[in-house]
Amino acid sequence: MAPIKKHFDYLVIGGGSGGLASARRAAGMYKAKVGIIESGRLGGTCVNVGCVPKKVCWNAATMAETMAEAKGYGFDVEVKSFDWPKFKAKRDAYITRLNGIYSRNLNNDAVTYIPGRAKFISKNEIEVDEQTPEGEKLGSKAVYSADNILIATGGYPVTPTNIPGAEYGITSDGFFDLETQPKKAVLVGAGYIGVELAGIFQALGTETHLMIRQDTFLRSFDPMVQEVMTKHYEEGMGMKIHKRSKQTKIEKDPATGLLSIHYEDANGPGVLEGVDMLLWAIGRKPEVGDLGLASTGVAQDERGYIVADEYQNTSTPGIYSLGDVSGKIELTPVAIAAGRRLADRLFGGIANAKLDYTNVPSVVFAHPEIGVCGLTEPEAREKYGDENIKVYKTQFTAMYYALLEHKGPTAYKIVCAGENEKVVGLHTIGSAASEMLQGFGVAMKMGATKADFDSCVAIHPTSAEELVTLK
């Protein structure tokens, strides 16, 4: 074994959002000696192949929708084309700038950046297969030790292993590598990633097919969200949704490169031919395969996620875990907040610092947007009992659509519990749902009741005013 190259107070494995936030807090605020190991581009999934470039794509798709709707407001608008290669180049350049900013921020906070692939060789020692920041392997290994080690390696998208030809498809990672816009796209998966990317393709003019296993998508969301959004994607946007579907075989034409998707759905067996992009959005797994956890005693659950308690402690003292690799709430701001709380506890003397994982607001950048916080109605009824739950909801056409033939849905639901009607669930669909939710999330963290919502004077004319006037 190589000699110890350097010893740290805190060594972070994973340069994604959670790892970066924890490392910078520990070093920048508390002056701990910190190193961070990353084998990919700094920023992790969110910055490189997730939230950030996805939102840029969503912005483009929303612009396409707005330009199409402008005619209803009297504008003589003709959109000749969408230049996907030009858009991709600008988007990629933006992400590259962000990578550079992350690198400079680490340097500003005196965090040692170690490019390479990490592997545990003991409970407090990490061997790194060294590389350049650009990913070129150097053919050398180095060993680092630390008093505290954080595992924040994130996750990766999976593809089916039991469908012949599945390898012809891509995942959400591959979406951002597409050099040209697909003419005919098939996406498989009912989660938010599939729904978001399908919405982008459809809005930009791609013939889009979404294959789901049940009758609705976003099945972990409130029934209102599932029903309203599935109907709108199918009827309002014109997307082709294959319900109760499964794929049986994928074939590729060697001459054209086009795919044929053999499937079965609620209407029986079928084949989609001439498909130039198949995207699997069927789930993610924790990035732990070559981490060497066997040498640490760190416990994993049946799906491979690292088990961590409310303070991010693993089963091995001195080793911590957070973010997607722990499988709690797989959202970037959650990982960031957990990482900062952990640094506060380990190096800031705040013994009880931990993240509260309740009432975490989250958004799906669908068309239109979805914003949720707290419990779904079924979850609330199970937790508090039917007799203790009261639900307020509304669905209407927003004023924006008054001059348009095309109508998009707006729907809100407030789930209340107990005699004082504490708001335990908030579910919104409609334009700007993402922006309005942050403030309501604060109110829910403070324990707001229906009476508190009602006491707030409405802002008129807005859609959001409906949330403080529900009867």
pLDDT of residue 50: 97
Distance (Å, rounded) from C-alpha 14 to C-alpha 118? 9
Render pLDDT for 440-453 as a digit per residue (tens, 0 to 9): 999 999 999 999 99
Please write the tens of the pLDDT for every residue from 319-345: 999 999 999 999 999 999 999 999 999
CA dihedral 430, 432, 434, 435 (to 10 degrees): -150
1 band by pLDDT with thresholds 50, 70 and 90: low
Asked if pLDDT for residue 223 goes beyond 70, the answer is yes
- Give yes or no: 460 in active site: yes
Mean pLDDT confidence for 245-262? 98
Pairing status of strand 389-396 against strand 410-417: antiparallel
Radius of gyration of the chain (CA): 24
Q: Is the pLDDT of residue 228 over 80?
A: yes
Angle at 244 between CA 238 and CA 246, to 5 degrees: 105
Residue 101: pLDDT over 90: yes
Task: Look at strands 319-321 and 4-13 and give their pairing.
Answer: unpaired
Question: What pLDDT shows up at residue 310?
Answer: 97
Rounded percentage of the chain residues whose pLDDT exceeds 70:
100
pLDDT of 222 reads: 98
Residue 424 structure tokens: 């335990």
pLDDT > 90? residue 34: yes
Give the model's confidence band at 4: pLDDT under 50 very low, under 70 low, under 90 confident, else very high.
confident
The first and second tokens of residue 294, run together, are: 């066997």
- Contact between 169 and 263 under an 8 Å Cβ cutoff? The reply is no
pLDDT tens digits, 125-149: 999 999 999 999 999 999 999 999 9
pLDDT at residue 2 greater than cutoff 90: no
Whole-angstrom distance, CA of residue 117 vs CA of residue 123: 17
**378 Cβ partners below 8 Å, 6+ apart?**
222, 223
What pLDDT was estimated at residue 419? 97
Q: Which residue type occupies 96?
A: T
